[in-house]
A = this chain, B = another copy of it.
Amino acid sequence: MRTAERTADGEGMPWGEVTPEAARRLLVAAVEAFAERGYHATTTRDIASRAGMSPAALYIHYKTKEELLHRISRIGHDKALKILTAAADREGTAAERLTDAVRSFVGWHAARHTTARVVQYELDALADEHRAEIVELRRRSDATVRRILQDGVRDGEFDVPDVPGTTLAVLSLCIDVARWFNAQGRRTPGEVGTLYADLVLRMVVAREGPPPSAGSEGQK
């Protein structure tokens, strides 16, 4: 039995892929601290003490404080991209795939808003090379959503005059959930995901019925 390996990709336990247990405790502590106060306002002493260690222990597992942020950001963006591609690659109409994408993407940002806040709002603190790596992942997330919208327009399901702009707006709307979501609030992550999926669908669906094979270019 290898329970640790079963969750090695972070499927079961959130940070299962961070392998030395002490390194994981430090990383989880860093996520909490960064989310609460922001990267620059968090001290290495604060991270270490949250993990129940001395300040020096951090540097056994990570070269710098920035490396911690990079690891968090990388794992988080990988997860976010995986959620989006899973929804985009499944079978179904564009509307079904978009609904699935928004619901799961928003659900993740709400349920794991602590992580998402760090992942989405602390990019500026990354070193140049690390930030470039992350920006590439975000470019791929953008392309994934754009593909769904393009498919919907092609099939006559959607009416989207500005596909790149609408893609940006949809992603922006979903990401910003991490900023305002409050676990003590009235809504569950699932409820927010459902609400947002509905709102996004309203943004893009064509007024008329969705004929599966209509190669027309209706004016408005």
Contact = CB atoms under 8 A, between A and B. Distances in A.
Interface of A: 37-38, 40-41, 121, 124-125, 161-162, 165-166, 168-169, 172-173, 175-177, 179-180, 187, 192, 195-196, 198-199, 202-204, 207
- Interface core residue of A37, A121, A124, A165 (most chain B CB under 10 Å): A165
5 contacts: A38-B40, A165-B192, A169-B199, A175-B176, A202-B202
Contacts of A40: 38, 40-41
Nearest to A164: B186
Contacts of A180: 168, 172
A204 B202 CA distance: 8
Nearest to A191: B165
A98 B7 CA distance: 47
